[in-house]
Structure 1
Amino acid sequence: MGLQINGLMKQYGNNRVIHDITLEAPTGKAFGLLGGNGAGKTTTIRSILGLVDYNAGSILWEGKPILENRPSIGYLPEERGLYPKEKVSEQLVYFARLEGMSRLAAIKAMKHWLERLGVTEHEHRRVEQLSKGNQQKVQIISALLHDPELIILDEPFSGLDPINSDMLATIVKEQLSLGKTMIFSSHQMGHVEQFCEDICILKRGRMIVSGSIADIKRSYERCNVLLRSDEDLSRHLVATHLQPLTADAKEWQMKVRDEDEANELLLRLTQMGIRLLKFEIKEPTLHEIFVEKVGEVS
């Protein structure tokens, strides 16, 4: 069953910051919690963690109130949650002990994860002495060290280069294969599509889009057309009243309402005698949908 949120509402005084949020993150799945700054993501996460008393609704774990049937939770916050003056090893063991691990088990798990993420040489250094990327690795270790049932990742790829991003992606997939439940929040839509089947997009505390990514894309009222030709299509496309999203010497990408408009474009270019090397109807990206629905990129 995993995590269920039903009709969640939170307000401070007369200011309602989240309205009727309902979602489900099943066991072994990653759920994408998306939105711009101030959308209500952090308040929702803090409600799950028990750090915020919400005004209405319920949060369940395996069908029971989460504060009564509390799972082991691994939380990676967007902001740093480490003590900069403390040594990496000391605070990782400290965090693990807070989660009920014995000191011996905590040290063993810490060494495993330090090696796995390639930061063994930093074990006895202070966090403030580490690069931003290595600090993020330590933060990731602190979230996974105690083998949590529920994992909440908020911008987990922040500060990581492509090689380390690939390594973290592998770890995320492994955690899901182990049956972990995951809440995944990121502004990097490519990563959201990589891990999540279902998402919700928040705006000003309200759910404006929710469901499976596949269904959301199918219901989206626009798609893209990719054109390739040896000819310069610019003057011909002006007559179609469609503005290219991208264009270079031989390739153009257009936004159309639907497949019918795409087929009309194809017919029109064919009647003009244009020789097309490629004509492809592409589904919208999650990034496009996010930008249109939220109206901002953070």
Structure 2
Amino acid sequence: MLKVNNVTKSFGDVTALDHVTFEVGDGELFGVIGQNGAGKSTLFRCIMDFYSKYDGEITYNDKKFSKLALEKIGFLPEERSLDPKRKVEDQIRYFAKLNKMKFLSDTKLKEWFDYFEIDGKLSSKIKELSKGNQQKVQLLCSLIYKPEFVILDEPFSGLDPYNIRLLQSIIKDINKEGTTIMFSSHNMENVESLCNKLIMLKKGKIVLNGSPSEIRNSYERKKLIVESDKDLFFLNDENIEILSQDGNMWTFILKDEDYAKVIFRKIVDEIGFVPYFDQSPPSLNEIFARKVKENV
């Protein structure tokens, strides 16, 4: 288990992390979200013991990261670090050996290469690959020696939707095999579809902490979406803050979430059946936007 306890890190007059406390349980898929400059990369660098000084304590299974065996930890930095002049195979084998992987057969290497669907050859130089394929090679290098704990800083950056889904699937597979994974992303859909738990950082402070469902369900369900080819403006009254239409989709922002029951009865009485009536909690994306606007 990773324990981050009351960690504060400053650079001169700038406080990048401000009394940050949370835990990542064994086998979890843990997300870290926040705007640029919120403290995500600084947090990861503190965890990886890249900074010699910070206040607070960080331990993994009650040990400092500097005391852990190198092969237990995987790290994908936000700044990519592949040697453009090296062949893909040489680069992968270098990181595997660096992390004390004793033997990597040609067959196993090819299996991993194909698993990541890298468009190129093992004999290609890194610079001959597209940026997206270089990104996949770097992620492969972080995982091939099968560490038990992995930090991925913006692993989906620069990837197209197909490759994002591919890497999401790979990350889930690795996690199911027992690897604890901690990652950051600007895309709330990535976070919501992947992680068991998450934190949101804002100006170095934690402003959200919990599972996606716990966080979403902590907000009132004031947004109501109804599909109807009939005019629903007759429902507008003082209990509705906003009523908007986009084709057959109608969006209501309610002053009180319980008023949705009244709207439902009015629709049934006036129209009868509607194919879609949804009163879900706000999405992570909507919550993220709200938190960005709030004062810490």
**TM-score normalized with structure 2 length:** 0.88
The letter for the 1-side match of 2:28 is K
Instruction: State how far apart, in whole Å, the 2-side matches of 1:60 and 1:155 are.
Output: 23
Report what 1:31 is aligned to. Answer: 30
Report what 1:75 is aligned to. Answer: 75
Report what 2:175 is aligned to. Answer: 176
Cα deviation code 1:93-112 (max 9, x no counterpart): 1122211223x427565333
Instruction: State how far apart, in whole Å, the 2-side matches of 1:238 and 1:76 are.
Output: 53
Q: How far does residue 73 in structure 1 lie from its aligned partner after superposition? A: 1.7
SS in 1 for 2:241: coil
The letter for the 2-side match of 1:12 is F
SS in 2 for 1:50: coil
- Aligned-pair identity (%): 37
SS in 2 for 1:6: strand
Q: Cα distance 1:60–1:243, how it changes in 2: closer, same or farther (>3 A)? A: same
Within 5 A, what are the aligned runs for 1:1-298? Answer: 2-70=1-69, 72-102=72-102, 104-105=103-104, 109-119=108-118, 121-234=120-233, 236-237=235-236, 241-244=240-243, 247-266=245-264, 273-275=270-272, 277=274, 278-295=276-293
Query: Can you give the 5+ residue segments of structure 1 that lack an aligned partner in the other structure?
Result: none
8 Å contact 1:222–1:257 — kept in the other structure? no
Q: Cα distance 1:109–1:223, how it changes in 2: closer, same or farther (>3 A)? A: farther
Q: Cα distance 1:25–1:107, how it changes in 2: closer, same or farther (>3 A)? A: farther
The letter for the 2-side match of 1:92 is I
SS in 2 for 1:259: coil
Q: How far does residue 270 in structure 1 lie from its aligned partner after superposition? A: 6.4
Instruction: State how far apart, in whole Å, the 2-side matches of 1:294 and 1:250 are.
Output: 31
Instruction: State how far apart, in whole Å, the 1-side matches of 2:110 and 2:172 are.
Output: 21
Q: How far does residue 79 in structure 1 lie from its aligned partner after superposition? A: 3.0
Instruction: State how far apart, in whole Å, the 1-side matches of 2:48 and 2:61 are.
Output: 15
Deviates more, 1:222-231 or 1:255-264: 255-264
Query: Can you give the 5+ residue segments of structure 2 that lack an aligned partner in the other structure?
Result: none
Deviates more, 1:124-133 or 1:65-74: 65-74
SS in 1 for 2:225: strand
SS in 1 for 2:253: strand
The letter for the 2-side match of 1:250 is N
Q: How far does residue 70 in structure 1 lie from its aligned partner after superposition? A: 4.7
Q: Cα distance 1:147–1:289, how it changes in 2: closer, same or farther (>3 A)? A: same
Instruction: State how far apart, in whole Å, the 2-side matches of 1:87 and 1:96 are.
Output: 14
Instruction: State how far apart, in whole Å, the 2-side matches of 1:106 and 1:16 are.
Output: 47
The letter for the 2-side match of 1:259 is E
Instruction: State how far apart, in whole Å, the 1-side matches of 2:87 and 2:253 are.
Output: 52
Instruction: State how far apart, in whole Å, the 2-side matches of 1:286 and 1:34 are.
Output: 10
Q: How far does residue 267 in structure 1 lie from its aligned partner after superposition? A: 5.3
8 Å contact 1:109–1:145 — kept in the other structure? no
The letter for the 2-side match of 1:60 is T
Runs of 4+ in structure 1 deviating by more than 4 angstroms, as ranges, are 106-109, 238-241, 267-271
Cα deviation code 1:98-150 (max 9, x no counterpart): 11223x42756533311211237421222221112211111111111211111
Instruction: State how far apart, in whole Å, the 1-side matches of 2:237 and 2:76 are.
Output: 49
The letter for the 2-side match of 1:35 is G
Deviates more, 1:199-208 or 1:87-96: 87-96
Q: How far does residue 226 in structure 1 lie from its aligned partner after superposition? A: 1.3
**TM-score normalized with structure 1 length:** 0.88
Instruction: State how far apart, in whole Å, the 2-side matches of 1:160 and 1:15 are.
Output: 32
SS in 1 for 2:236: helix
Instruction: State how far apart, in whole Å, the 2-side matches of 1:257 and 1:30 are.
Output: 36
